[in-house]
Amino acid sequence: MIEKEPKPRVVLYARVSTKKQEEYLKNQLRRLKEYANSQGWQYEVISEIASGVNENKRGLLK
């Protein structure tokens, strides 16, 4: 009997810089989730609205 390898657990990270880009954030998350589901991955989602200049991204501290 061939054992299947367990599917990895991954983190889906999406970010936009401003509140005005919130629709882009939703689109990023949708595409990331679709891909993760197509691979059979288990996942946790981290998303945030934060400047790319700021190195202290709360979502990445988890």
Nearest one of 57, 60, 58, 48 to 15, comparing CA atoms: 48
In this prediction the pTM is 0.75
Q: State residue 48's pLDDT score.
A: 94
Q: State residue 8's pLDDT score.
A: 86
21-54 residues labelled b (16+ CB within 10 A) or e (exposed)? eeeebeebbeebeeebeeeeeebeebbeebeeee
Domain that holds residue 25: 9-51
Residue 56 lies in a domain: no
Tokens 């200049």 belong to which residue?
53
Residue 62 lies in a domain: no
Domain count, the chain: 1
Q: Which is more confident, 2 or 14?
A: 14
Residue 18 lies in a domain: yes
pLDDT-derived band at 6 (thresholds 50, 70, 90) equals confident
In this predicted structure, the answer to whether residue 51 has a pLDDT above a threshold of 70 is yes
Q: Chain-wide mean pLDDT for the chain? A: 87
